[in-house]
């Protein structure tokens, strides 16, 4: 991106819309011009350009961008143009589509969002792509990873800071029995606790587990599970320990 030049004078959304229209015109597309404009505008400016473009040319600039640009460039430009909720929906949809399948990316978004953020992008997902999120998870994911994602996107969780020490101790005991103490692993217990408990409650479980069994829950998850299921559980754990980091979106 070091080759991008900063525009010498502040521009208006109207000028930008006109410049973009010109870049699209004719055979092919002046990709450098498009990137130069959109990379140097913030979310609000881009939203205004989108609006201006619709008014001036009766056309949706997002549709135009996706027909003019291709591959990774198309994806990045479209991601720039969207608000965080739409970006979540797009990233998850791409991750759960056969052609662009990236279950890790989809898992990362799903498991690092709060229940209300999940509600928002779930609604948008359904209305934009015409299919419920759960359907795509059902089709693309498998095994315990699938069960966890399905539970995680449909279970309401408390978003406040209060937690219950007694329940945390009980859950730690259940996780110990299901993991370290057991030959093999009872994944169901992990799915149940990780999808039902709030972030604050999970943070309390992490500390209760350490106090009771002298081991970190993260190590237990790493030892007992693997693959995408492990990745999902670890993402949920790290967002409970460090919720501020998980609030930051793309």
- Minimum Å gap between C-beta 223 and Ca ion is 7
Going by C-alpha positions, the residue among 160, 163, 193, 164 that lies closest to residue 178 is 193
Q: Which is nearer to Ca ion, 172 or 198 (CB)?
A: 172
Tokens of 160: 């406040």
Q: Which is nearer to Ca ion, 182 or 222 (CB)?
A: 182
Number of residues that bind Ca ion (CB under 5 A): 2
Q: Which is nearer to Ca ion, 185 or 198 (CB)?
A: 185
Q: Which is nearer to Ca ion, 24 or 194 (CB)?
A: 194
- Minimum Å gap between C-beta 220 and Ca ion is 8
Going by C-alpha positions, the residue among 153, 156, 124, 121 that lies closest to residue 137 is 153
Q: Give residue number: closest CB to Ca ion.
A: 182
219 interacts with Ca ion by CB under 5 A:
no
- Minimum Å gap between C-beta 180 and Ca ion is 6
Q: Which is nearer to Ca ion, 185 or 240 (CB)?
A: 185
Helical residues (DSSP H) of the chain, grouped into ranges: 13-24, 31-38, 43-57, 61-68, 71-81, 84-95, 103-111, 115-129, 133-140, 143-154, 165-178, 187-196, 199-213, 217-224, 227-241, 243-247
Write down the residue that tokens 């953020």 correspond to: 117
177 interacts with Ca ion by CB under 5 A:
no
Find the part of the chain contacting Ca ion (CB under 5 A) among 77-85, 114-122, 174-182, 237-245.
Answer: 174-182
- Minimum Å gap between C-beta 232 and Ca ion is 18
Going by C-alpha positions, the residue among 239, 206, 232 that lies closest to residue 220 is 206
182 interacts with Ca ion by CB under 5 A:
yes
Burial class (CB in 10 A: 0-12, 13-18, 19+), 190: buried
Q: Which is nearer to Ca ion, 22 or 182 (CB)?
A: 182
Tokens of 135: 């359907």
- Minimum Å gap between C-beta 185 and Ca ion is 5
Site for Ca ion, rule CB under 5 A: 182, 185
């Amino acid at each position: 991106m070091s080759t991008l030049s900063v525009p010498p004078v502040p521009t208006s959304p109207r000028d930008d819309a006109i410049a973009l229209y010109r870049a699209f015109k004719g055979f092919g597309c002046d990709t450098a011009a498009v990137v130069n404009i959109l990379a140097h505008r913030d979310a609000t400016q881009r939203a205004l350009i989108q609006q201006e473009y619709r008014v001036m040319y009766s056309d949706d600039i997002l549709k135009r961008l996706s027909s003019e640009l291709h591959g990774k460039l198309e994806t990045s430009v479209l991601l720039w143009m969207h608000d965080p909720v739409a970006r979540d929906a797009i990233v998850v949809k791409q991750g759960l589509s056969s052609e662009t399948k990236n279950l890790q990316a989809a898992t990362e978004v799903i498991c690092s969002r709060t229940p209300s953020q999940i509600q928002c992008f779930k609604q948008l997902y359904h209305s934009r792509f015409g299919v419920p999120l759960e359907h795509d998870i059902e089709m693309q994911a498998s095994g315990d990873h699938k069960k966890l994602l399905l539970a995680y996107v449909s279970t309401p969780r408390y978003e406040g800071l209060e937690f219950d020490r007694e329940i945390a101790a009980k859950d730690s005991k259940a996780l110990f029995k299901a993991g370290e103490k057991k030959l093999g692993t009872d994944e169901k217990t992990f799915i149940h606790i990780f999808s039902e408990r709030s972030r604050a409650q999970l943070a309390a479980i992490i500390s209760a587990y350490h106090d009771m069994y002298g081991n970190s829950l993260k190590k237990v998850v790493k030892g007992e599970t693997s693959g995408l299921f492990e990745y999902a559980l670890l993402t949920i754990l790290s967002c409970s320990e460090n919720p501020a980091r998980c609030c930051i979106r793309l």
